[in-house]
Amino acid sequence: MKRIKKLCAAVMACALLCVLTLSGCSADGSEVQEARKGVMCVLCIFQCTTEPYEGVQIVGRGSAFGVGEAGQETDVFVTNRHVVGDFSDQFQLTDGSVAQLDFTLVKAYLLLDDNAYSDSTGLDTSRAVPCTVLYEADSDEPDLAVLRAAEPVEGRVALPLLKADGNVEAGQTVYALGYPNSADAASTDEGSTSYSASVESQTVTKGVVSRLVDYSNQNCRIVQHTASINPGNSGGALITEDGAVVGVNTISFNLDGMTSSSADHYGAVDAAYVMRMLDQLDLTYTQYRAGSALPVMILAAVGAVAVVVVVLLVVRKRKGVPVQGQADSDQLLPAPDPEPVPQPAPIPGDSGLRFQALSGALAGRRFSINGTVRIGRDPARNDLVYPAGAQGVSGVHCMLSLSGGNLYLKDLGSTYGTFLGDGRRLAANESIQLKMGDRFWLGSEAECFVITGRGGV
């Protein structure tokens, strides 16, 4: 019996050594390096819709990270809405004057390697993967969007997601992954700037969590942290030392608490809202269990000891109760039910109704309906403006309006026609009531919309 005790003690000592060794392995930064494979550079081409500059194109960029089965190549990427969404901003013109110009997204790409785009040679499409905007949040929702690449991107993988609230704490180390503009500021060739996009050229900054705080502008919780981010980092991943995404880098603050590109504190949308968004879209993702990687390895070591001890005892007794087969890991450590994601408070005056483009120039994008929404190509007369070259869409095409709690669609004398889901064409100035789930299209089914709620289709 003494021999057995001594042997058991020796085996337990070995197990402890294994545990300590494994613990050391988990802190060597390899998970952070692996996570870099899940982040990509997004290039967006925008076109001006403001006269007299209609058709003028500019480029913008940001970052995005893959979601799906963790560690596997994917075609679904999460980014910020402000990376891929239409926008209006002030621009200084060549004559020195300043003008307010509106821009709409023409095309988005994931860049595969360095120098796939430069401002002197433009975009090499053979080194980029085109994307569609599968989902774009409303302006009063967390600043998120989903891209679907034309094909899974070779060598770029999905990252696991971890709700920050309740799983990370002040002082915890985090890393910001992405492709900031500042990293390319010195990467010039005779005055030409090229965009970094390879895994090796990706920027990693280290910081700590300052706090988790409510961000009223977007009705969500954000992770405030000190890992430096700059324009271009938007949409990139904020990860833990274990490589789990806890936030989407979105905003920066100066010492006065105002958003600023020159800042001391930075904010990432809690990954809980990413999971909620993916659930609404019925898209697959991997939820990381806090601290799950190391405990599983430790259990493996201790489990081996337990097997040895059981075998020794069985041999010593020669008889006894048969040893049961090893339980699956999810039986050893039953996963807790996921905590409910906090829902944003309703916005005063928000009807809750949305119309989402299922196809065409605005495919994947979703718009709120509060009062009246005119749709067409003329930026001076419409609330939702189509690109100037959109086929089958009139200057002023149709209108959605709320009256008495009901939603109505009205054709505004369009040339190409406004059609209902059953194919019937509305007469000029004819108005008809719509309900949730109803579809309509402009000119043809190539420009189709569906009436939905805040969560989208």
Q: What is the pLDDT of residue 26?
A: 44
Q: What is the pLDDT of residue 282?
A: 80
C-beta separation of 79 from 89 below 8 A: no
Q: Is 124 a domain residue?
A: yes
pLDDT at 173 over 90: yes
C-beta separation of 77 from 64 below 8 A: yes
Tell me how far apart the alpha carbons of residues 104 and 60 are, in angstroms, rounded to a whole number.
12
Could you tell me if 377 and 241 lie in one domain?
A: no
pLDDT band with cut points at 50, 70 and 90 for residue 179: very high
pLDDT at 366 over 60: yes
Q: What is the pLDDT of residue 226?
A: 94
C-beta separation of 376 from 397 below 8 A: yes
Tell me how far apart the alpha carbons of residues 363 and 395 are, in angstroms, rounded to a whole number.
19
Could you tell me if 275 and 358 lie in one domain?
A: no
pLDDT band with cut points at 50, 70 and 90 for residue 169: very high
pLDDT at 121 over 60: yes
Could you tell me if 112 and 216 lie in one domain?
A: yes
Q: What is the pLDDT of residue 96?
A: 83
Q: Is 12 a domain residue?
A: no
pLDDT band with cut points at 50, 70 and 90 for residue 255: very low
Q: Is 334 a domain residue?
A: no
- Of 237, 262, 280, the residue at which a domain comes to its end is 280
Q: Is 320 a domain residue?
A: no
Could you tell me if 121 and 235 lie in one domain?
A: yes
CATH of the domain at 210: 2.40.10.120
Give a three-class secondary structure readout of 56-98. CEEEEEEEEEEEEEECCECCEEEECHHHHCCEEEEEECCCCCE
Tell me how far apart the alpha carbons of residues 453 and 355 are, in angstroms, rounded to a whole number.
8
% of the chain with per-residue pLDDT over 70: 75
Q: With a threshold of 0.85, does the pTM exceed it?
A: no
Q: Supply the DSSP string of 308-375, one letter for each residue.
A: HHHHHHHHHHS-SSPPPPPPPHHHHSPPPPPPPPPPPPPPTT----EEEE-SSTTTTBEEE-SSEEEE
Could you tell me if 94 and 232 lie in one domain?
A: yes
Section 59-87 average pLDDT: 95
Q: Of 25-34, 92-101, 329-338, 437-446, which gets the smallest average pLDDT? A: 329-338
pLDDT at 183 over 80: no
C-beta separation of 288 from 275 below 8 A: no
What is the rounded average pLDDT for all residues in the chain?
80
Tell me how far apart the alpha carbons of residues 237 and 176 are, in angstroms, rounded to a whole number.
6
Q: At what angle do helices 293-317 and 2-25 cross, to 10 degrees?
A: 170
Tally of domains in the chain: 2
Could you tell me if 361 and 261 lie in one domain?
A: no
- Of 246, 280, 314, the residue at which a domain comes to its end is 280
Q: Is 439 a domain residue?
A: yes
CATH of the domain at 364: 2.60.200.20
Assign 424 to helix, strand or coil. Answer: coil
Q: What is the pLDDT of residue 383?
A: 86
Beta-carbon contacts of 310 under 8 Å, excluding residues fewer than 6 positions away, are 323
Q: Tokens standing for 118?
A: 């430069």
pLDDT at 319 over 80: no
Q: What is the pLDDT of residue 15?
A: 47
Could you tell me if 79 and 188 lie in one domain?
A: yes
Q: What is the pLDDT of residue 453?
A: 81
Q: Is 309 a domain residue?
A: no
The per-residue pLDDT for range 295-316, each reduced to its tens digit, is 333 333 444 444 343 333 333 3
pLDDT band with cut points at 50, 70 and 90 for residue 190: low
Q: Is 86 a domain residue?
A: yes
pLDDT at 7 over 50: no
| Beta-strand pair 237-239/220-225 | unpaired
Tell me how far apart the alpha carbons of residues 167 and 261 are, in angstroms, rounded to a whole number.
28
Section 271-292 average pLDDT: 84
C-beta separation of 287 from 161 below 8 A: yes
pLDDT at 53 over 50: yes
The per-residue pLDDT for range 411-450, each reduced to its tens digit, is 999 999 999 999 999 999 999 999 999 999 999 999 999 9
- Of 280, 310, 339, the residue at which a domain comes to its end is 280
Could you tell me if 126 and 261 lie in one domain?
A: yes
More confident residue, 338 or 140: 140
Domain hosting residue 418, numbered range: 354-452
Section 334-343 average pLDDT: 38
Could you tell me if 131 and 231 lie in one domain?
A: yes
Could you tell me if 363 and 235 lie in one domain?
A: no
Q: Is 301 a domain residue?
A: no
Section 156-178 average pLDDT: 94
Q: Of 11-20, 42-51, 244-253, which gets the smallest average pLDDT? A: 11-20
